[in-house]
A and B are shown apart, each in its own frame.
Chain A
Amino acid sequence: GENVEQHPSTLSVQEGDSAVIKCTYSDSASNYFPWYKQELGKRPQLIIDIRSNVGEKKDQRIAVTLNKTAKHFSLHITETQPEDSAVYFCAAVEYGNKLVFGAGTILRVKS
């Protein structure tokens, strides 16, 4: 089945700097890659996603890139703010509707 690895496990950045989180997947048939943000005590919420027919997608300060050949995708957050502090999860669809999640990255934005 699908296996998703996520790095780093923790990331500290200064407010205003950029943050990058990287994920790799194993199943070349996967075609959908969402990113979720989970604030402390809250549910995971979708923040951006990308499909295998697209190489990059942007939404204001966040962007996701996908390299199908290398089977990796990355989340980029620019001009980080304290409210970006959270746990971020990447995921890949295995088959049907099943998502496999990475282990998560704790992002701390220091002001």
Chain B
Amino acid sequence: DAGVIQSPRHEVTEMGQEVTLRCKPISGHNSLFWYRQTMMRGLELLIYFNNNVPIDDSGMPEDRFSAKMPNASFSTLKIQPSEPRDSAVYFCASSSRVELANYGYTFGSGTRLTVV
């Protein structure tokens, strides 16, 4: 398995533009998590899905952020409009109840977002 795949690896965009981050979880994992990492706030959980259904989006900073999981193999995190304070590394992670019990989460390589 190729692991959790995120794209793009790096994104530089201008303030006000729409940004879409993508994630493909490990096949068979039924939970998907979006995290944001910054020096000031560490690893923050933005939203997570179980079986493609959003379970907890309390970490989504504001209405500019939205996430979807249309099927078991794909998820997107969208920021519209983007602001400089959104600059961070965004990680996607996946797991299953069995995987969590044995291996924890598997993280993707992350997307480094810079909003100028």
Contact = CB atoms under 8 A, between A and B. Distances in A.
Contact of B103 (A46, A96, A103, A104): A46
A24 to B, nearest CB: 16
Nearest to A91: B104
A60 to B, nearest CB: 18
Interface string A52-80: 00000000000000000000000000000
B45 interface: yes
Given A97-B100, A100-B45, A43 B56 contact: no
A19 interface: no
B91 A93 contact: no
Contacts of B2: none
Contacts of B31: 96-97
Contacts of A96: 31, 50, 55
Given A89-B43, A96-B55, A97-B97, A46 B48 contact: no
Given A34-B104, A97-B95, A43 B42 contact: no
Interface centre among B43, B55, B100, B101 (most CB of A within 10 A): B43
Contacts of A103: 42
Q: Say what secondary structure dominates the interface of chain A.
A: strand
B101 A32 contact: yes
A25 interface: no
Interface of B: 31, 33, 42-43, 45, 48, 50, 55-56, 91, 95-97, 100-101, 103-105, 107-110
Given A46-B104, A96-B31, A103-B42, 20 more contacts: A34-B104, A43-B108, A43-B109, A43-B110, A44-B43, A44-B91, A89-B43, A96-B50, A96-B55, A97-B31, A97-B48, A97-B95, A97-B96, A98-B45, A98-B48, A98-B56, A99-B104, A101-B43, A104-B42, A104-B43
5 contacts: A42-B109, A43-B107, A97-B97, A98-B55, A100-B45
